Amino acid sequence: MTILKNWLPAGRWVEPALAAVILIGIAYTGWFLYENQYLPQPFFYEPTDIYADWFNTAFWARNPGAYDAWRTVYPPLSFVIMRIIGIDRCYPDRRANDFSPGLDARDCDWVGLAAIWLIFVMNIVLVCYAYRKIDRSTAWPRTICVAMGLPMLDAIERGNLVILCFTCLLLSFGPLLKSARLRWVATGLAINFKVYLVAAVVPLLLKRRWRWVESALLSAVIVYLLSYAAFGHGTVVEIYNNIREFSDAQASDIMAVWYSSTHQALLSLLKSDVFPMGLILGSRNVDLLLIIIPALQYTMQGLICLAMMAAWVRPEAIPSYRLVGLGILLAVATSEAGGYSQIFFMLFVMMEPWRGFGRRWAICACYVLAIPLDIPIDKLPPLVRNTYIGDTSTFVTFYVMVGPFVRPVIIMTIGMALALVTIRQVWSDVRQQGWAGRWRFRRDAPLLPWVRTPSPPGAP
């Protein structure tokens, strides 16, 4: 512990050095793409599927069957937005013969392609501006980590609307908007892009921000009703059933471990007879993993729940961005939402000051998660694949990588570290002020250090 404390405090060079490693990884990725016409691991394993999430969504936004034929898990807002962003003539009628849902539109819909990269650049600017307001000395390294790291690059490669959802989340809880009402609208939009971001709002109940939480959730309901009326499809029952089917399919898919934020897919494979994990790892190691992995998950979940309980006891001692980040961490590390979902909790971890071992560990871990490189363990036989970048066929070599096994553990340690920091802060405050100190909490206190929240009439 002493050695780590002597190393981690050197924040002046640690964060810039880790950000430089991320830039080196980006440069390597660009060189690899130029030489091989496809992206290296851990980017998506199908080189012809680049931007698929964006253009497939745009296709089904203009054709019937998004919820019954395509079985999408997206709320209607995504399809309403995709109807606006794009060129209609680039998307054929679904009833026509010989169509490729969405992918053929990549060579036609230049508006969609431009929108992906414009949102990417906009997010870089907004994140940098937000972090400069919080701490100018660490703004650039943390901007590189959050807005240019592997999770964001993976979202760009997939063309996933998580990039636009990230913008809304930043506006909701970052230091860019002063109006609480505009923040409520941004929160409602974010939840309607990614439903699991409800986990970012509910923890604020621990801060006694009743009105803020109620207004944000009401905004989400209003946005859903308006987008449902505009699109005409996407009932709550349809979305729920599709999410359940998608989760079951992900659990049984070996490729779900490619770039994930949890061990859920790995656990399903270890328990399944479909893939012979016992022959590869040995039955004893499989049994050991089936004990260790759930134990780590339950430990993280338990610590976060204890931290939430501690925050309820002394809400004024814990910053709101910590509770928001822990809520998202609990959601992301419990149910597999894709590797790009890491950008949500990374946004809030990077709001932490470089102080104390736990916070420094969490910050450094986020930098490691953002490095767009992986370490190969074993080599698989090369396969012939079509590529979108080079518009040709080439041999693609896949590897068994360290990342799918280590990355979820790193995420769990971030949750554990921040939960322990929270519990310690509350305990220290209680020792200094006593248990009665919790009644000193001002119920009209600002939600975040940089935002004014309207107080109810008659509030002191």
Average pLDDT, the chain: 84
- Least confidently predicted of 146-155, 160-169, 247-256: 247-256
pLDDT in tens, 391-417: 788 888 888 788 888 888 899 999 999
Q: Is the pLDDT of residue 44 over 80?
A: yes
- Is the pLDDT at 447 greater than 90? The verdict is no
Each residue's pLDDT tens digit, 50-97: 998 999 999 999 888 888 888 888 999 999 999 999 888 888 776 655
Check residue 122 and give its pLDDT: 96
User: 3-class secondary structure for the chain?
Assistant: CHHHHHHCCCHHHHHHHHHHHHHHHHHHHHHHHHHHCCCCCCCCCCCCCCCHHHHHHHHHHCCCCCCCCCCCCCCHHHHHHHHHCCCHHHCCCCCCCCCCCCHHHHHCCHHHHHHHHHHHHHHHHHHHHHHHHHCHHHHHHHHHHHHHCHHHHHHHHHCCCHHHHHHHHHHHHCCCCCCHHHHHHHHHHHHHHCHHHHHHHHHHHHHCCHHHHHHHHHHHHHHHHHHHHHHCCCCHHHHHHHHHHHHHHHHCCHHHHCCCCCCHHHHHHHHCCCCCHHHHHCHHHHHHHHHHHHHHHHHHHHHHHHHHHHHHHCHHHCCHHHHHHHHHHHHHHHCCCCHHHHHHHHHHHCCCCCCCHHHHHHHHHHHHHHCCCCCEEEECCCEEEEECCCCEEEEECCEEECHHHHHHHHHHHHHHHHHHHHHHHHHHHHHHHCHHHHHHCCCCCCCCCCCCCCCCCCCC
Predicted pLDDT at 99: 54
The pLDDT confidence band at residue 375, using thresholds 50, 70 and 90, is confident
What mean pLDDT is predicted for residues 101-117? 86
Domains of the chain, by residue range, sit at: 10-92+105-434
